[in-house]
Amino acid sequence: LKTRSDDDRDPSSQDAHLQVDFVQQVVEAVRREDAAEAADLVDGLALPDLADLFEVLPPSDRRQLAALAGDNLDPAVLPELDGQVFTDVVRQVPATLVAEAVRQLDSDDAIAVIEELDEDVQNQVLRRLAAADRVVIEEGLAYPEESAGRIMQRDLVAVPQFWTVGQTIDYLRAENPSLPDDFYEIIVTDPFHRPVGAIALSRVMRNERRVKIGDIMTRDPHLIDVMADQEDVAYQFNKYHLISAAVIDQSRRLVGVITVDDIVHVVEQEAQEDILALAGVSEGGVNESIVTMTRSRFTWLLVNLGTAVLASAVIGRFEATIQQLVALAVLMPIVASMGGNAGTQTMTVAVRALATKELSAANALRIVNKELLVGLINGALLAGVIGGVAWAWFGDPLLAGVLAAAMVINLAVAGLSGILVPMTLSRLGIDPAVSSTVFVTTITDVIGFLAFLGLAALVLL
Amino acid sequence: LKTRSDDDRDPSSQDAHLQVDFVQQVVEAVRREDAAEAADLVDGLALPDLADLFEVLPPSDRRQLAALAGDNLDPAVLPELDGQVFTDVVRQVPATLVAEAVRQLDSDDAIAVIEELDEDVQNQVLRRLAAADRVVIEEGLAYPEESAGRIMQRDLVAVPQFWTVGQTIDYLRAENPSLPDDFYEIIVTDPFHRPVGAIALSRVMRNERRVKIGDIMTRDPHLIDVMADQEDVAYQFNKYHLISAAVIDQSRRLVGVITVDDIVHVVEQEAQEDILALAGVSEGGVNESIVTMTRSRFTWLLVNLGTAVLASAVIGRFEATIQQLVALAVLMPIVASMGGNAGTQTMTVAVRALATKELSAANALRIVNKELLVGLINGALLAGVIGGVAWAWFGDPLLAGVLAAAMVINLAVAGLSGILVPMTLSRLGIDPAVSSTVFVTTITDVIGFLAFLGLAALVLL
C-alpha cells in the first residue's frame, strides 16, 4: 500500500517539485561519473521535471549530466529548456540526437529548438534532416522572431465544408502521418485552401455521421495573420477565449494553426518581459551566466547613473542655498523619492493598460485627467503628513510649507509623466515597458529637487 | 466587393479594436437617450467587443448604455466585465436578467458573475434560480477565492474505462443537457467516480468504434486538488502543457474539470498582480473610480514616506559633515538611487524566479552567491565611472574615492538584499511581490547614505 507520504518523497510523483535530497543524489552520481546511477535516478521523471532538474543543477553538473546521458537523452526534453540551460545541454549531446529531436517534434517545437542553436550547429542539424522536414523548418525560420509563423503548428486537420461528420471521422481514423498528435478544432477550407469555418471536435462527435460539416461549423472563425506579433495573438486568444485558431498568409490561405497551450507560454513570457523591462533587466532568469546577468543589468544602471548625475547637477545649482540651510539637504531626498514611487505606480498601471488595450485613443484624455487628479489628491494628503513631520522636526513652519508645496507639485508631475510617457512612447512605436522608467524617474528626480530647492531659495532666504 | 479598408473601418470586424469614431457615435446616441440608435450600433459586436465598449465609455455613459439596453442586454456579456465596469453595468440591469445570465452560463462563468455581486443582489439572484442551479452556485462559492474549486467547470464528460469508443460517441450524441458546450478531453473514472485516466477527443476520434477506452487512455492523468490555489493550477498547466485537467476532492473523487482557456486568464491575472504589487499598486486598472485609484496607491506611498523619513534621519546625523563639505549633499543621492535601482533589478528577477519555481531550495545558495558577485562587478564598474566624474567635477580625488567605495558597498548590499528579502518573505509565507520593494529600497537608501556620509566623515574631515 502506497501512503501519501511515500508519494511526497517520490521525486517523480506529479506536482511534487524536485526535492533537495533528490537533486543532491543526482549531483553525487554525476560527480562520480556514475552514468548508470544517474540514468536510474532520472528514469521515470516526466520531461518537464527532467527539464527542471537540468535547471537547478550547477552549470558544471548540468553539462556533465547531459554528457553522461549522451545518446540516451530523450530528445523531447530539448524544447522544455530555455536560454543558458538549453545551450549547456545541447552542446553536450551529439548533433544526431538534436536532428532526431527535430524529426520527432511537432513543427512549432522543432523550430523552437532550431532557432536557439548556434549557426554552425544549426547547419549540421539541418543537413541531417530529410529534405521535406528541412523545408518545413526553413520556412518556419523565415518568419520573424516572436511572430505567429514561428509559434504555429504546420500539421493540422482541414476538411472541405461539403464533407459529412462520417467522412471526417473516417479521414481521421485512416493512418495519416501528417495529422498532428493532438488537436481540438477542425478547420473548414474552401477549394483555394482558405479557411471559411471552424468546428470544435466535441461538436463533430456530438453529431450524427450524415450531418454536413458546413451545417454545423462556426462561420467567420478568428484568423491569425502569419506575420502577427505573438503578443497580439495572445491578446486575441485571451479576449475571444480561443482554443485554436487558423493562421493565414497574405493571400488568406491556411498555413498553420496555433493552439492555446502554446499561448499560455506566450502570455507568461510577455508578462515576464514587461516585469523585467520595467525593472531595467534586459534578460531574465537566475540561470544565465554571471557575464550575461552582469551585462543585462549594467546598461540600465549606467543610464540611471547618467540621470542621477543630472539630478546632482540640479542640486549643485543650489549649493549656496544648502550651505545656508543644511536642513534642506536632509529633507530633499523625500520629495524626489516620493515622486519616483508615485510615478512608478502610475507608469506601471499605464504600461499594463496599454498592453491589455484597456488604455486606447478612445479613453486616453479621460484617464490622463484621472491620473493628474489622483496625483494631486495623494500629493495633498502626503504633503499634510510630511509638512507636520518637518515642522515638528525642524520647528520651522516655512520650511515645512516649502516641503509640502514641493510634494504636491512633484506628485502631480509624477501622475502626469507616469501616464504621458508610456502613452507617447507607445504612439512612437517604442515598447513603453522598456523605456518608460528612465524618463519618468528622471522627470520626478529633477522636478523634485528643483521644486523643493527652488522654492526654498525663493521663500526661505 | 468588400475591400480591406472597409474591413478596417467596420468596428465589429474581428481584430479591429474599437475605433474612436465608433465610440463617439455610441456616446452621442447614449446622451440623446436614443435606445434604438444605441442598440443598432452595438448590435453585431462580438461579446468581448461589447465588453471593451463598456470599458472605454466614461462611467456615466456606461451606466446609461446599460440602462438603455435593460432587458435586451445579452447576459453573457457579464462575465467579460471586470471590477468597477462590472459593478456599473450590473447595477443598471434587472435582477431577472442577472439570474438569466447565471442560468445560461457554464458553472465557472456563473460563479465568476455571482461572486462579484453585492450580497443583497447576490441573494436576490440566487432566490430567482431553480434549486438545482442554486446548489451548484452555492457549492462553488463555498470554495476559497482563487482556488481550483472556483474556476473549475462542473459539467464534464466522464466515462468508465470498459466503454468502447463507439459507446462513448453514442453517449455524446444523445441529447444530454449536463454535457458542457465544448470539451477537449474525456475523463475516465472508476466505479467510485475517481479519475483513473484521460483521453484527448482527437484520440477517441482516431480509433475504431470497437476499441476500449481503457486501452487508449493516458493513465495517471494530472489531477488538481479542488483547494489548490489558481496560481499553482496555472503553474501545472504551463509546465505540463495541459489542455484540461480533472479536479478531485479530498477523497479523490472527480468534482470538476479545468480547461486551459480559463488558465490563460489566470496566468495573465497573476502576472498582472505581481507587476502591480512590485510597483506598490494594490488594485489595478484604469477604470477604477478615483477613490479606489487614490486609495490603492496611498497606503504604499505612506509606507514609503516613512522609509524616506528614516533615510532623512540618517542624513540628519551627518548635518555637521554636510555643513563643512556641501558637495556631499550634491553627490549623496547618487549612491542611494543606484542602490535602489540595482536592488529592484535583482528583486524583480528573484520574485519572478520564485513564482515560476526556477528559484527553490535546491539552488538558493548558488543563486545568492551569483547575485552578490554580479552586484560587486557592477558596483566596481560603476564606481570607476562615477569616481572619474566626481573627480573631474569637484577636483577632489579623496571625495571621488569615497563616492566610489560607497557605490561598491551599496551595490553589493543591493544584490544581497534583492535576493534574500524575497526568499525570506516567501519562506515566511508572505507574497514576496507585495512586500519586497519596501524592504529592499529602505535597505539600499539607508546603507547608501550611511556608507557615503559615514566614509566621508571618517576620511575627509
Q: What is the DSSP string of A211-246?
A: SBHHHHSEES--EEETTSBHHHHHHHHHHTT-SEEE
Per-residue pLDDT of chain B (461 residues; tens, 9 = 90+): 333 333 333 333 334 457 888 899 999 999 999 988 988 888 888 888 999 999 889 999 999 999 998 888 888 898 888 888 998 998 888 888 888 888 888 888 888 888 888 888 888 888 888 888 888 888 889 999 899 999 998 889 999 999 999 999 999 988 777 788 788 999 999 999 999 999 999 999 889 999 999 999 999 899 999 999 999 999 999 888 898 999 999 999 999 999 998 898 888 888 888 888 988 888 767 888 888 889 889 999 999 999 999 999 999 999 999 999 999 999 999 999 999 999 999 999 999 889 888 888 888 899 999 999 999 999 999 999 999 999 999 999 999 999 999 999 999 999 999 999 999 999 999 989 988 998 999 999 999 999 999 999 999 87
Q: ipTM value of the model?
A: 0.85
Pick from B222, B245, B260: which residue ends a domain? B260
Mutating which of A49, A205, A274 best tests the B interface, going by the most B Cβ atoms within 10 A? A205
B357 with A312: Cβ contact below 8 A: no
For residue A410, tell me if it sits in a domain: yes
Above 70 in pLDDT, residue A8? Answer: no
CA distances from A395 to A208, A319, A324, A400, B308 (A): 87, 23, 17, 8, 19
SS3 A360: coil
B352 with A276: Cβ contact below 8 A: yes
A349 with B286: Cβ contact below 8 A: yes
Of residues B238, B285, B333, nearest to A265 (C-beta): B238
Same domain, yes or no, for A403 and A455? yes
Residues of chain A positioned with their CB less than 8 A from the CB of B308:
333-334, 337-338
- B358: which DSSP letter? S
Above 90 in pLDDT, residue A261? Answer: no
Above 80 in pLDDT, residue A6? Answer: no
Of residues A348, A381, A382, nearest to B279 (C-beta): A348
Same domain, yes or no, for A71 and A146? yes
Same domain, yes or no, for A90 and A163? no
Residues of chain B positioned with their CB less than 8 A from the CB of A357:
17, 52
**How do residues A305-329 score in pLDDT, each as one tens digit?**
999 999 999 999 999 999 999 999 9
CA distance B272 to chain A (A): 7
Q: How many CB atoms neighbour CB A449 within 10 A?
A: 28
Cell 523605456 belongs to A435
CA distance B436 to B417: 9
Please report, for the domain that includes residue A443, its CATH number. 1.10.357.20
Tell me the count of A-B CB pairs closer than 8 A.
358
Are the C-beta atoms of residues B166 and B210 closer than 8 Å to each other?
yes
CA distance A118 to chain B (A): 25
Cell 468597477 belongs to B84
CA distance A2 to B36: 67
Same domain, yes or no, for A134 and A239? no
**How do residues A19-47 score in pLDDT, each as one tens digit?**
888 889 999 999 999 988 988 888 888 88
Above 70 in pLDDT, residue A206? Answer: yes
For residue B371, tell me if it sits in a domain: yes
As a whole number, mean pLDDT of residues A39-57 equals 89
For residue B32, tell me if it sits in a domain: yes
Above 50 in pLDDT, residue A4? Answer: no
**How do residues A102-129 score in pLDDT, each as one tens digit?**
888 888 888 888 888 888 888 888 888 8
What is the pLDDT, as a whole number, of residue B284?
Answer: 66
What is the pLDDT, as a whole number, of residue A284?
Answer: 66
For residue B400, tell me if it sits in a domain: yes
DSSP letters of B181-200? S--SEEEEE-TTS-EEEEEE
CA distance B111 to chain A (A): 17
Same domain, yes or no, for A143 and A165? no
For residue B403, tell me if it sits in a domain: yes
Per the structure, the count of domains in chain B is: 3
**How do residues A393-450 score in pLDDT, each as one tens digit?**
999 999 999 999 999 999 999 999 999 999 999 999 998 998 899 899 999 999 999 9
CA distance A439 to A445: 10
Supply φ then ψ for residue B118, to 5 degrees. Answer: -65, 155
B370 with A286: Cβ contact below 8 A: yes
CA distance A22 to A140: 39
Please report, for the domain that includes residue B124, its CATH number. 1.25.60.10
Same domain, yes or no, for A324 and A431? yes
Same domain, yes or no, for B310 and B376? yes
Q: Considering only CA atoms, which of B113, B103, B114, B36 is closest in space to residue B77?
A: B113
Residues of chain B positioned with their CB less than 8 A from the CB of A418:
none
Same domain, yes or no, for A304 and A448? yes
CA distance A190 to chain B (A): 18
Please report, for the domain that includes residue B212, its CATH number. 3.10.580.10
Above 60 in pLDDT, residue A16? Answer: no
Residues of chain B positioned with their CB less than 8 A from the CB of A204:
205
| β-strands B244-248, B218-219 pairing | unpaired
Residues of chain A positioned with their CB less than 8 A from the CB of B358:
55, 285-287
The pLDDT > 70 percentage for chain A reads 96
For residue B280, tell me if it sits in a domain: no
Q: Which residues contact B36 (CB under 8 A, 6 or more apart)?
A: none
For residue B28, tell me if it sits in a domain: yes
Same domain, yes or no, for A71 and A141? yes
CA distance A128 to chain B (A): 29
Gyration radius of chain B over CA positions? 29
Q: Considering only CA atoms, which of A223, A166, A144 is closest in space to residue A190?
A: A223
Same domain, yes or no, for A52 and A132? yes
- A156: which DSSP letter? -
Pick from B122, B145, B168: which residue ends a domain? B145
Q: Which residues contact A446 (CB under 8 A, 6 or more apart)?
A: A310, A311, A314
Burial zone of B397 (CB within 10 Å; 0-12 exposed, 13-18 middle, 19+ buried) = exposed
Are the C-beta atoms of residues A149 and A180 closer than 8 Å to each other?
no
Same domain, yes or no, for B296 and B245? no
What is the pLDDT, as a whole number, of residue B13?
Answer: 38
| β-strands B223-225, B244-248 pairing | parallel
The whole domain housing A211 covers 158-264
For residue A358, tell me if it sits in a domain: yes
Pick from B96, B124, B145: which residue ends a domain? B145
Q: Considering only CA atoms, which of B139, B364, B356 is closest in space to residue B231?
A: B356
Q: Considering only CA atoms, which of B19, B12, B79 is closest in space to residue B46?
A: B12
Strand order in the sheet with B254-259: B223-225, B244-248, B254-259
CA distance A132 to chain B (A): 25
Same domain, yes or no, for A176 and A141? no
Of residues B58, B329, B377, nearest to A294 (C-beta): B377
Above 70 in pLDDT, residue A294? Answer: yes
**What are A200's strand-pairing partners?**
A185
Of residues A181, A322, A374, nearest to B290 (C-beta): A374
What is the pLDDT, as a whole number, of residue B1?
Answer: 36
Based on DSSP, count helices (H) and strands (E) in chain A, helices before strands: 22, 7
Residues of chain A positioned with their CB less than 8 A from the CB of B272:
271, 352, 356
- B219: which DSSP letter? E
